[in-house]
Amino acid sequence: MSPVPERFTDERSMIRPLMSVETVSRSAVPKPPTSSFERNASAFSFSSPSISTWPAMASPDYRPSGSMPPSRSSPGFERNPLPAVLPPDTYGWNQDLQTPGCSLDLSPSAFVPPSVSSPSGSHEKGHSQRRSANRDVFSGPHQFLDKPSLDLITPQDRELPHVPTNLFVQEQDSLLSQVNDRLSQCAFDFIARYHFPIPLEADKRPVQVPSDREWTEWVYLLKKLATKRRIPARVLYNGQIKQLVTVLENSLEMRHAAKHQSRPLKDDRNVLQLISAGFQVAKILKDAACMEFMDRLYLQTEAIIRDRKANLRSLT
């Protein structure tokens, strides 16, 4: 067999590294031909005269599709910094967003948070409850009761019975102011004793004495402490933490009656009721001194009302 020309030998050395990725992954260094048949076949394939008609293959930059970079030992080629066999995740193709051919969802719905696009059942339930609470329930299905007969309406339309009012204006203002001030002192002592926090407000002075806050402001503070679970049940009478807000709201009329003196006179029962509401506040806050004060004031007021009634009967 005739020897292979030197020109084809150089081309053979350049073409030999151009093998598929699958072949290189199995073996980083190609095995040399062992049998005479393999050597002859290799020589025959590389000595084909038609290879000289492929000028692009003679260029150092030529690289067939799907082939690996040229070998470091190939003459005429620059040194390749990458290894002959690259790790499978070199280019990060195992990640979904970097996989060639993957499509990204750029629609507006793709940028909506999951909590908004697919709300949970509890979220939908809470949203529907808020929406139903705000709408006018009377615009939906409703009913009307039958009008009562005239036998029932006539007694109701009669003139209201007279409610005795035996206390003068000055006496009512004095009584309600005493109750208002004593309840402020009770709330001040309660908060100071158990060291509850008082939020600072820019338009109000820091609390130094009970009169720095009105009774309505003390009620608001105590209600906030109760709803935020800052007040333990053990510091209240019988642990009545749920009844605290109701008892405080029943005493709110005290401040209005004491400050707005232009309101009409209150009847005797209403005045006694307001003093009793203050007594209940002192009781649930477990202030014995305040309870004694309210009880004494209640008995004194009741005695004055009873004496006035007796004098009116004697005059008639």
Average model confidence (pLDDT) across the chain: 74
- Are 244 and 284 a contacting pair, CB within 8 Å? yes
18-75, pLDDT tens digit by residue? 444 444 445 445 555 555 555 555 554 444 444 444 554 545 555 555 555 555 555 5
Residue 281, exposed/middle/buried by CB under 10 A (0-12, 13-18, 19+)?
Answer: buried
Please choose, from the candidates 179, 187, 185, 182, the residue with its C-alpha nearest in 3D space to the C-alpha of residue 274: 179
The amino acid that residue 22 corresponds to is E
The number of beta carbons lying within 10 Å of the beta carbon of residue 305 is: 19
Over the stretch 280-315, which tens digit does the pLDDT of each residue have? 999 999 999 999 999 999 999 999 999 999 888 888
pTM: 0.55
- Residue 131 — very low, low, confident or very high, per pLDDT cuts 50/70/90? low
Identity of the residue numbered 162: H
pLDDT at 137: 85
Each residue of 76-112: b (16+ CB within 10 Å) or e? Answer: eeeeeeeebeeeeeeeeeeeeeeeeeeeeeeeeeeee
pLDDT tens by residue, 199-230? 999 999 999 999 999 999 999 999 999 999 99
Comparing 97 with 294, which gets the higher pLDDT? Answer: 294
| 86 vs 289, higher pLDDT | 289
- Whether residue 8 is predicted with pLDDT greater than 50 in this model: the reply is no
- Paired tokens of 220: 């608001």
What mean pLDDT is predicted for residues 107-133? Answer: 52
Number of helices (H), then strands (E), in the chain:
12, 0
% of the chain with per-residue pLDDT over 70: 55
What is the reported pLDDT for 264? 80
Would you state the pLDDT for residue 207? 94
Which of 81-85, 148-152, 215-219, 233-237 has the lowest average pLDDT?
81-85
pLDDT (average), residues 98-118: 51
Place of tokens 């299905």: 141
User: For residues 32 and 146, which has the higher predicted lDDT (pLDDT)?
Assistant: 146
- For 116, the enclosing helix (H) or strand (E) is helix 114-117
Q: Are 129 and 266 in contact (CB under 8 A)?
A: no
Higher pLDDT, 143 or 10: 143
pLDDT in tens, 173-184: 999 999 999 999
CA distance 70 to 64: 11
Q: What is the pLDDT of residues 257-267, one digit of tens each?
A: 555 555 688 89
What is the total residue count of the chain?
A: 316
233 has pLDDT over 70:
yes
